[in-house]
Amino acid sequence: MPELALSLGALIEDGAIQLRLSGAREPRREAIRIWTELGFRPPTQVLLDRDRPIDPAETMRYLDAISRRVRGEPLPHVTGLSGFRHLSLASDARALIPRPETEGLVELLLQRARTGQVADIGTGSGCIALSLAMEGGFDAVTGIDRSAEALGLARQNRDLTAGRVSLVQADLCAPLRQGSLDALISNPPYLTVDEYSSLETSVRDWEPSMALVSGEDGMAATMRLLDEGRDVVRPGGWLALEVDCSRAALAAGQASAFGWTEVTIHLDLFGRERYLLARRSHTR
């Protein structure tokens, strides 16, 4: 640990060296991001303030964050922040880190439904529900999760964003009334145990397994949502699910078998089959 105050430039360089040695692909970018997201200065000030001496307490906090990142902790956990669409959200081990892929699911639903009542099943950090509340014109947005810890994080993010979202602890669609929704959206768990075991340690060791694993075939939660969704989504309403790309066709076939109509699969930003959109039949 430094005995004298380091300049900001020297501190960033020290962080970048440690990250580079740990195998980071963009060490300097990460070093700057950690500094800025810890709340010390905006990114534009990093170059302007290169020669400014840094308070030893700030230095210690920054180097501690670098050390956590070097040990493999996900960057959003280190900084405590994660971006999602137009939101900056708190992020920690209580829920999945919001992914850019999931932003596409929100976009697809908003293209089809922007009013009425919508529920986000397995809300986790609240990223989907809060985005819908901010960007849509819904009368009511409900986020449901069986994890009390995840809902604690979602409440924190609701307070940060002043989002108008009701949060409920429950299992999938259990608390919802029949025909009460104009849309149901979910990024449910969809991995098998073997797939979970083969994940990168940055995911497997730091993010909740209950938000990732879904039965022997990875389809348990998806199948329940396809089934239970028929009761809670009104005729003509929409279902939007994130699915595993290797089982997207299977999920679409099951949706049709359950009586959903206008079933379509959409690609994510990496060109993978990632989203299932379907409409509640008027007859089944």
Residues 54 and 174 in one domain: no
Q: Are 224 and 238 in contact (CB under 8 A)?
A: no
pLDDT higher than 60, residue 222: yes
Residues 37 and 119 in one domain: no
Cα angle 182, 187, 188; round to 5: 110
Residues 105-128: tens digit of each pLDDT: 999 999 999 999 999 999 999 999
pLDDT category at 221 given cuts 50, 70, 90 is very high
Residues 119 and 171 in one domain: yes
Q: What is the pLDDT of residue 4?
A: 56
Is 130 contained in some domain? yes
pLDDT category at 2 given cuts 50, 70, 90 is very low
pLDDT higher than 80, residue 7: yes
Query: What percentage of the chain reaches a pLDDT higher than 70?
Result: 95
Give me the chain's average pLDDT, please: 92
Q: What is the pLDDT of residue 188?
A: 97
- Which has the higher per-residue pLDDT, 43 or 215? 215
Residues 268 and 224 in one domain: yes
Tally of domains within the chain? 2
Is 184 contained in some domain? yes
Q: What is the pLDDT of residue 173?
A: 97
Is 76 contained in some domain? no
Is 34 contained in some domain? yes
The Cα 28–Cα 97 span in angstroms is 22
Residues 61-112: tens digit of each pLDDT: 999 999 999 999 999 999 999 999 999 999 999 999 999 999 999 999 999 9
Average pLDDT for 26-43: 83
SS (H, E, C) the chain: CCCCCCEHHHHHHHHHHHHHHCCCCCHHHHHHHHHHHCCCCCCHHHHHCCCCECCHHHHHHHHHHHHHHHCCCCHHHHHCEEEECCEEEECCCCCCCCCHHHHHHHHHHHCCCCCCEEEEECCCCCHHHHHHHHHCCCCEEEEEECCHHHHHHHHHHHHHHCCCCEEEECCCCCCCCCCCEEEEEECCCCECHHHHHCCCHHHHCCCCHHHCECCCCCCHHHHHHHHHHHHHEEEEEEEEEECCHHHHHHHHHHHHHCCCEEEEEEECCCCCEEEEEEECCCCC
Residues 146 and 263 in one domain: yes
Residues 242 and 118 in one domain: yes
- Which has the higher per-residue pLDDT, 2 or 88? 88
Residues 107 and 165 in one domain: yes
Average pLDDT for 138-146: 97
- Which has the higher per-residue pLDDT, 213 or 284? 213
pLDDT higher than 80, residue 280: yes
Residues 161 and 254 in one domain: yes
Residues 51-61: tens digit of each pLDDT: 788 888 889 99
Question: 258 lies in which domain range?
Answer: 92-279
Residues 112 and 192 in one domain: yes
Is 96 contained in some domain? yes
Q: What is the CATH number of the domain that holds 128?
A: 3.40.50.150
Residues 158 and 32 in one domain: no
Residues 36 and 99 in one domain: no
Residues 213 and 111 in one domain: yes
Q: Which two tokens stand for residue 85?
A: 């669409």
